[in-house]
Amino acid sequence: MDILSEIVANKRVEIEQPDYFQTLEKVVDELPHVGNTCDACDGKPARAATPDFIEALTSAPMGLIAEVKRQSPSAGAIRVPFEPAEIAKAYEAAGAQVVSCLMDKKYFGGGEDQWAAVRAATKLPMLYKEFVIDPRQIFHAEALGASAVLLIVAVLTDEELTSFIHLVQACGMTPLVEVHTEEEMKRAVAANAKCIGINNRNLKTFETKIETTLALRELAPADCTLISESGIRTADDIRTLKDAGIAAVLVGESLLRQPDLEQAVKDLMAV
């Protein structure tokens, strides 16, 4: 079994544990409400508006989604010691537009505690970075104050993809639809995704190359916000992607490996 299938198989078991969505129930009642209701959310009031994901990203010449990632199946432990709040503060101070927070515990060392630490440390919009296979995860993201939710095309059927895109939108968040192949890009476009993340990393083999973005971007309609994800290391990479019409980048490892994070962000984004 490849790693992506393994992670998803584990996720299916995980989300059925009785305490998995505990926070959802605890948090929803305590959230500041804006009073408007969301049809898809059972008539429950939607939570206070979070900063808009696309607006934040497109406010810069090249948007940066900076990732809080303790470990990964491909890299192992990425930064030791790992301090989510300090990391988020450094990202914000250096001018990142969005913070991405891994929610998977077993493979990425993330989860609700990490989310809460980051949420408290920064005002920046946050991306709920998870292997979403169930609508409850989308309500969870909403309850936690996410601005955007990752939807990975490779782990969803067409029907799921379409209904999850609508659900994320109905909850006042932006679906970031992730693709890695031509076929997945076509499925994302057919599902009317308006914000597409091209993952340079093959989640089955871990092979990572920026050319993936350059090849797949051609297949996206002009009104789509395109984000290049994974394996982005240098200011030269950023220049290449900018010239190719990419609006934003999602970067974790290459930043997190630098002792001075704030400087690392500034050096990377110095275009």
The CB-of-75 to ligand IGP minimum distance in angstroms stands at 7
Instruction: Tell me which DSSP letter residue 208 carries.
Output: B
The CB-of-221 to ligand IGP minimum distance in angstroms stands at 22
231 binds ligand IGP (CB under 6 A): yes
Hey, how many other C-beta atoms are within 10 angstroms of the C-beta on 226? 18
Q: Is 257 helix (H, G, I), strand (E, B) or coil?
A: coil
Given 21, 67, 92, 212, the residue binding ligand IGP (CB under 6 A): 67
Nearer to ligand IGP, 142 or 253 (CB): 253
Given 122, 199, 213, 225, the residue binding ligand IGP (CB under 6 A): 199
Q: Which residue is nearest to ligand IGP (CB)?
A: 252
224 binds ligand IGP (CB under 6 A): no
The CB-of-83 to ligand IGP minimum distance in angstroms stands at 17
End-to-end Cα separation, the chain, in angstroms: 41
Sign of CA dihedral 26, 28, 33, 37: negative
Nearer to ligand IGP, 41 or 185 (CB): 185
Q: Residue 246 corresponds to which tokens in the numbers above? A: 């990419």
230 binds ligand IGP (CB under 6 A): yes
265 binds ligand IGP (CB under 6 A): no
CA 23 to chain centre: 20
237 binds ligand IGP (CB under 6 A): no
212 binds ligand IGP (CB under 6 A): no
Residue by residue, DSSP assigns 15-66 as TTSTTTTHHHHHHHHHSPEEEEE-GGGTTPEEEPPPPPHHHHHHTSSSEEEE
Residue ranges in 178-197 that form contacts with ligand IGP under rule CB under 6 A: 178
Under 8 Å CB-to-CB from 260, ≥6 apart: which residues?
none
Binding site for ligand IGP (CB under 6 A): 67, 69, 129, 178, 199, 229-232, 250-254
